[in-house]
Structure 1
Amino acid sequence: MERENIVSNPYLAPGAALSDAPGDTYQPRVFAWKGRLGRLRYLSYLCCAYLLSMVVLGLAGAALSVARRLPDPASWEMLLSIVFYIPVLGLSLAWAKRRFNDVNRSGWLVLLLVIPVVNFFVGLYLAFAGGSEGANDYGPPPAPNPVLVKIVGLLLPLLIIGGTVAVMYPAIKLAQERMDAGSSSGRL
């Protein structure tokens, strides 16, 4: 019926839904390629992917260590790691592309993530650059983050700080013991 009205009356305005209205948002999906992704949601998705990959690879390593009857357990573990890493890499690149879209940049900039050293700075940019206010060339802004996304997104910095402390603490303790041993023997 509506189609007939548009055809019969060329001056009739089209019935398109406009998405440039202020306050218009969309709910991002985890496995989508298009759209925008905010900073906190990007960090929470990466954190979940990292934790999931550690759990899966840990379980695979444990299963392979139990099954020592395989011809070469290390090769099987490497094969499992590669097979699992490919989808995680694809998701990470899709999320980075959507994050670039959120700051109104081309998704092709995701290729900068494969360049050593540059990828560090690009990762910092993706983590800290604010998204465009309102709709941009890549669509409306994502909906506000739910509580779970906020909790998981804040876990990433805690994991990084905790991991750094866990790695550095034994080294600092060893250096302190050597300094104490050196000063007690009269050497500096």
Structure 2
Amino acid sequence: MRSSVQGTQLANDSPLSAQGRFGRLSYAAWTLISSIFFIVACIAIGFGIHQMSQREIALSLQFSLFIFFVIGSLYAGFLYFNFIFMIRRLHDRNQSGWLSLFYIVPPLNLFFIVYLLSAKGNERLNDFGPARYTCTWERVFGWIYIALIPVSIIIGILIAVMIPTYQDYLQ
């Protein structure tokens, strides 16, 4: 039986719907899952294109446009679901989902993501329904995502430092 928070029943609705709420770890977990799916799909497409080029199959303009459409569709789906997750996270803060549009403003999007990952949600019933139960696997994936953030920043800095050094080495 599910526990209740402050006398309200916890919701366990579909995570792919904009209706409802996401806690911090649920948001992080579903963002990680969508990112992994997108990256794996793009790698598979890239691997297929590489295999075709190794076999010296000429890539026609129509095929190139098809690949462009497929990758564009994947990216559109990735953005759609990330907006859904952001809306649900804002609902947990009892805020309008329209605030998710801050994500498309380049200077603000980094601060907005930090806000979504760190701001505590409402524990009680709010305008968007009862709190959503965070499953154990969502907690694990959420913490993995949070741990990957500083690791990716460090790797990005190292790459930014190493690229000019490697270019000097090549010359």
**TM-score bin, normalised by smaller chain:** 0.7 to 0.9
Contact 2:28 2:146 in 1 (8 A): no
1:63 & 1:163 partners in 2: Cα distance?
Answer: 27
Contact 2:94 2:126 in 1 (8 A): yes
Unaligned runs of 5+ in 1: 1-19, 177-188
Secondary structure in 2 matching 1:117: helix
> Which protein has the bigger helix share?
2
Instruction: Give, as a single letter, the amino acid of the residue that structure 2 aligns with 1:26.
Output: A
Contact 1:28 1:37 in 2 (8 A): no
Q: Larger C-alpha radius of gyration, 1 or 2?
A: 1
Find the counterpart in structure 1 of residue 92 from structure 2.
102
Give the TM-score normalised by structure 1. 0.73
2:162 & 2:77 partners in 1: Cα distance?
Answer: 39
Give the TM-score normalised by structure 2. 0.80
Which of 48, 63, 66 is 1:63 aligned to? 48
Percent same amino acid at aligned positions? 23
Find the counterpart in structure 1 of residue 71 from structure 2.
81
Unaligned runs of 5+ in 2: 166-171
* Cα deviation 1:84-124 (Å, max 9, x = unaligned): 11111111111111111110111111122222212222211
Find the counterpart in structure 2 of residue 48 from structure 1.
33
Any residues of structure 2 matched to 1:6-155 within 5 Å, and which?
A: 22-68=7-53, 69-72=58-61, 76-143=66-133, 145-155=134-144
Instruction: Give, as a single letter, the amino acid of the residue that structure 2 aligns with 1:158.
Output: A
RMSD: 2.6
Instruction: Give, as a single letter, the amino acid of the residue that structure 2 aligns with 1:66.
Output: Q
2:117 & 2:45 partners in 1: Cα distance?
Answer: 30
The Cα of 1:161 is off from its aligned counterpart by: 2.8
2:159 & 2:105 partners in 1: Cα distance?
Answer: 32
Find the counterpart in structure 2 of residue 162 from structure 1.
151
2:97 & 2:162 partners in 1: Cα distance?
Answer: 45
